[in-house]
Amino acid sequence: MADKIKVAFFDAKEYDINSFKLANADEKYDVQFYETRLSEETCRLAEGCDVVCVFVNDDINKAVIDRLVKTGIRLIALRCAGYNNVDIEYAYGKIHVVRVPAYSPYAVAEHAMALLLTSIRRIHKAYIRTRDFNFSLSGLVGFDLHGKTVGVVGTGKIGRIFIDICRGFGMNVIAYDKFPAKDSGIEYVELEELFARSDIISLHCPLTDENRHMVNAESIAKMKKGVVLINTSRGALIDSEALIDGIKQRKVGAACLDVYEEESNVFFHDYSGHIVDDDILTRLISMPNVIVSSHQAFLTAEALKNIADTTFENIEDFFRDGFVKNEICYNCNKVADCAQKHDGKCF
């Protein structure tokens, strides 16, 4: 490590640059920040670097992986937990991939509750009214969370913290997880039962081929009339067209979305002076019982610091020790009897 490790940082936003510069105050790493997302066309910007640092909307497909390998990149450092935007199977054996598995589960869980409270108590509508000195309460009737049943899909760190928050409100909690947390005191049920019993459903699971469009026309039909849906995980967990139909049919009472399945072309950018071509997103935003925030659930000072610190730790561990605890291994994910002892690189 005599020479500085060179990092090409893609899809850089002001908050990213500030937090990573602070974490790299000693200038241990040579980081080049680029506003553009990583793609086959922009791979050339990483020439001469050792690492590319990417986020959720960078598409690391086969063509990009081939270009990165050809360029000499040795490591893809995701500054996020999810990795559904990376072709992990194709990357295996060619280039190593690491991630930040948890940066602030509290930030995401708290944002999910903030969306819920804003929606059911009409806080966003009240704010707009009072800014115009309209103090009427007409149309602002909400409902108590106390005593309501919330169904939590996914009980990792974020899901369990959200459960704790809900319990603090006096809510009844049921949950579904393919791998239930042992001795957690959580009432686990099958997914169909969760859909049928819940007044509120909050998604806190990663996106996989198996659960893509988990919330669809069929599952919405099984839900209670007036159900509130919350998604702070991955947009493609919900079939957006089916959601719109559910809202129009008055089956879905409200939707609180921090993510959207086609967000990569819209989120994190200012289109306030433009016409947005995405008709589905435009329809969702126009609905009075839908709240959309632009993938900001993670965005706290604590989370940004943890993301930057962990990303640099991953990079240093990879080049210094050859082992990173946060490496994503396709083999481990797919093979039950994987021989990897996790005391070195995954290949």
For 226-284, the three-class secondary structure string (H helix, E strand, C coil) is: CEEEEECCCHHHECHHHHHHHHHCCCEEEEEECCCCCHHHCCCCCCCCCCCCCHHHHHH
Backbone angles phi, psi at 316, to 5 degrees: -65, -45
* Between 273 and 120, residue with greater pLDDT: 120
Strands (E), the chain: 5-9, 29-33, 51-54, 75-78, 96-98, 149-153, 172-176, 200-203, 227-231, 252-257, 290-292
Whether 174 and 195 share a structural domain: yes
The answer to whether the pTM exceeds 0.85 is yes
Q: pLDDT digits over 74-103, tens only?
A: 999 999 988 989 999 999 999 999 999 888
Least confident of 112-116, 250-254, 327-331: 327-331
Q: Where are the beta strands (DSSP E) in 55-195?
A: 75-78, 96-98, 149-153, 172-176
Q: Tell me whether residue 263 is one of the annotated catalytic residues.
A: yes
Say if residue 92 is in the same domain as residue 112.
Answer: no
How far is Cα 197 from Cα 140, in angstroms, rounded to an integer?
26
Query: Higher confidence at residue 1 or residue 231?
Result: 231
Q: What is the pLDDT of residue 258?
A: 97
> Residues 96, 99, 204, 234: which is the catalytic one?
234
Q: How many CA atoms lie within 13 A of 187 on its CB side?
A: 12
Instruction: List the domain range (segments joined by +) for residue 211.
Output: 105-292
Angstrom distances, CA of residue 50 to CA of 22, 41, 68, 328, 333? 21, 18, 10, 18, 26
pLDDT, one tens digit per residue, over 108-133 is 999 999 999 999 999 999 999 999 99
* Rounded-to-integer distance, Cα 73 and Cα 337, Å: 30
* 86 shares a domain with 38: yes
Is 346 a member of any domain?
A: no
pLDDT at 304 over 90: yes
**Average of pLDDT values for 241-245?**
98
If asked whether residues 148 and 276 sit together in one domain, one would say yes
Give the relative orientation of helices 240-248 and 279-286 as an angle to the nearest 10 degrees. Answer: 30
Q: Which of 67, 160, 204, 263 is catalytic?
A: 263
What six digits make up the tokens of 300? 């706290």
Tell me the mean pLDDT in the region 253-276: 91
218 is catalytic: no
Residue 153 has pLDDT above 70, yes or no: yes
Residue 1 is predicted with a pLDDT of: 47
Tell whether 237 is covered by a domain.
yes
pLDDT tier at 57, thresholds 50, 70, 90: confident
The reply to whether 295 belongs to the active site is yes
Taking each helix axis from N to C terminus, what angle separates 157-168 and 105-120, rounded to the nearest 10 degrees?
A: 40
To the nearest 10 degrees (0 to 180), the angle between helices 301-320 and 14-23 is 50
Q: Is 151 helix (H, G, I), strand (E, B) or coil?
A: strand
Q: Cα separations (Å) of 155 from 107, 177, 178, 203, 344?
A: 16, 6, 9, 9, 29
Q: What pLDDT does 264 receive? A: 82
Q: What percent of the chain has pLDDT over 70?
A: 96
Same domain membership, residue 235 and residue 151: yes
Report the pLDDT value the prediction gives residue 268, as an integer from 0 to 100.
87
Number of domains forming the structure of the chain: 2
Clarify whether residues 95 and 220 are in a common domain.
Answer: no
Put residue 64 in one of left, alpha, beta given phi > 0 → left and psi -120 to 50 → alpha. alpha
Higher confidence at residue 269 or residue 148? 148
Are 99 and 142 members of one domain? no
Mean pLDDT of 16-23: 97
Of 204, 261, 295, 327, catalytic: 295
> Is 341 inside any structural domain?
no
Are 19 and 78 within one domain? yes
Rounded to 10°, the helix 123-131/105-120 angle is: 70
Which residues on adjacent β-strands are paired with residue 275? Answer: none
* 347, part of any domain: no
**Do 92 and 110 have their domain in common?**
no
CA pair distance 54, 259, nearest whole angstrom = 18
pLDDT surpassing 80 at residue 65 = yes
Return the H-helix or E-strand segment holding 217.
helix 217-222
Average pLDDT, the chain: 93
Of all residues in the chain, the percent with pLDDT exceeding 90 is 84
Q: Are 228 and 126 members of one domain?
A: yes
Give pLDDT tens digits for 175-224: 999 999 998 999 999 999 999 999 999 999 999 999 999 999 999 999 99
Dihedral angle sign, alpha carbons of residues 48, 54, 294, 121: negative
Res. 343: pLDDT tops 70: no
Residue 27 has a pLDDT of 94
Residue with the bigger pLDDT between 51 and 331: it is 51
Q: What is the CATH number of the domain that holds 225?
A: 3.40.50.720
Same domain (yes/no): 157, 233: yes
